[in-house]
Amino acid sequence: KQPDLSNGEPTRKLPQGVVYGVVRRSDPNEQKEMVVYGWSTNQLKEEMNYIRDVRATLEKVRKRMYGDYDEMRQKIRQLTQELSASQAQQEYLKNHIQTQSTALDSFNATNSALTSDSIGLQKTLVDVTLENSNIKDQMRDLRQTYEASVGQLREKQRQLEVAQVENQLLKMKVESSQQANAEVMREMTKKLYSQYEETLQEEQRKHSAEKEALLEETKSFLKAIEEANEKMEAAEISLEEKDRRIGELDRLIERMEKERHQLQLQLLEHETEMSGEIMDSDKERYQQLEEASTSLRERIRHLDDMVHCQQKKVKQMVEEIESLKKKVQQKQLLILQLLEKISFLEGENNELQSRLDYLIETQAKPEVETREIGVGCDLLPSPTGRTREISIPSRNYTPYTRVLELTTKKTLT
């Protein structure tokens, strides 16, 4: 049988999403008691995230402080090495001085012995004396070098003492910073979170305003594209109508040319018949031929005028077609520019969306629910298989070539 832990109170169902912890503590009378605390999962997550951020920041501060401490230790180690090198040099100088002193003593003994020997060895004695003076100079130089080394050693010792003092100061700074770091990090975290919230709200407002402006500008561009398409379609219809009209005028001119040619043949026959000998009985026939010739000349002149008029109309229509072609090309260029602007606006829109997503992702508080806003631009569906190129009616001649051809024919006739 399990013990009853409810102390006579009815058992209650614990709420979901709450974590309980038991804390034992003792009062001044050394009586132990147990206290049960309850935390929600969100509170535990916030505390854990806060503790993790504080630890990471303290680790960075520790690495920075102990990085300076490592530099000081390296300096101290370097000074110690230089000090040991100076001591070794000092011992070497002492040994060298002792060696030189021993050599000097031996040379003095040799000189005294040589002086008592003979006069013939005076030259050798002089040389030895000169060498002895050189050795004295060397000893003097060595003594000066030794004094300079001792001075450098004292300077190194002073630098070592200064480095030790700085090391103590750094240790004190580290201890004081560890004590005050927790409160500073808490205030810094709150400040950074408030700055993140303000920046996010400001960016969302800017994004909404820029989104509306981009949508309005895109709508205006799409409307301009639709109007340009309508004008291009009207220009295409007008071009087809002009081309059909030019074809009809060409056929009419050809018929007039044929009729004029037939009239010229008839006039030539009449003139040939009139150029022969005229009898009295043929006067009436001659008069009829003359009247017919006059009528044919009038008809030919009338046909020439009509052909000239039709040629003017053809030339005018050709000029209109050329101007319509230029307008269509301008409209095509305008449509391409508008499409490029729409693509540029879509790129700016995507960039703004990426910036907003980045700010939302880098937000300090992960529990804040954010709503993703998709920004897009719905373009008008373009029918498949349709191109914006204008189908120009095919001809086997250029417009101005046709006009020049008709003018040349008239001039020759």
- Residues 243-276: pLDDT tens digits? 787 778 778 778 777 877 787 787 777 777 767 6
Q: How many domains does the chain have?
A: 1
Residue 270 is which amino acid?
Answer: H
With 50 as the cut, is the pLDDT of residue 378 above it? no
Band of residue 405 on the pLDDT scale cut at 50, 70, 90 = low
With 60 as the cut, is the pLDDT of residue 394 above it? no
The verdict on residue 283 lying in a domain is: no
Question: What's the farthest any 2 CA atoms get from each other in the chain?
Answer: 190
What backbone torsions phi and psi does residue 82 show, to the nearest 5 degrees?
-65, -40
Read off the pLDDT of residues 115-135 as tens digits, 9 standing for 90 and up: 566 566 566 666 777 777 778
Read off the pLDDT of residues 149-178 as tens digits, 9 standing for 90 and up: 888 888 888 888 888 888 788 878 777 776
Q: For residue 34, what are the β-bridge partners?
A: 24
DSSP state of 282: G
- Taking the CB of residue 166, how many other CB atoms lie within 10 A of it? 15
CA–CA distances in Å: residue 294 to residues 274, 277, 281: 13, 20, 21
pLDDT at 280: 56
pLDDT at 372: 43
The verdict on residue 408 lying in a domain is: yes
Instruction: Report CA torsion sign: 376, 379, 381, 386.
Output: negative
> Minimal CA–CA distance to 314: which of 245, 376, 362?
245
The verdict on residue 262 lying in a domain is: yes
Provide the percentage of residues in the chain whose pLDDT is more than 90. 0
The verdict on residue 76 lying in a domain is: no
pTM: 0.30
> Minimal CA–CA distance to 203: which of 350, 347, 353?
353
pLDDT at 368: 41
The verdict on residue 120 lying in a domain is: no
The verdict on residue 181 lying in a domain is: no
The verdict on residue 390 lying in a domain is: no
Q: State the average pLDDT over residues 339-356.
A: 76
The verdict on residue 310 lying in a domain is: yes
For residue 346, what is the domain's CATH number?
1.10.287
Residue 169 is which amino acid?
Answer: L
pLDDT at 219: 80
The least confident of 133-147, 151-165, 176-190, 374-388 is 374-388
Q: For residue 22, what are the β-bridge partners?
A: 36
Domain that holds residue 239: 209-273+288-365+397-412
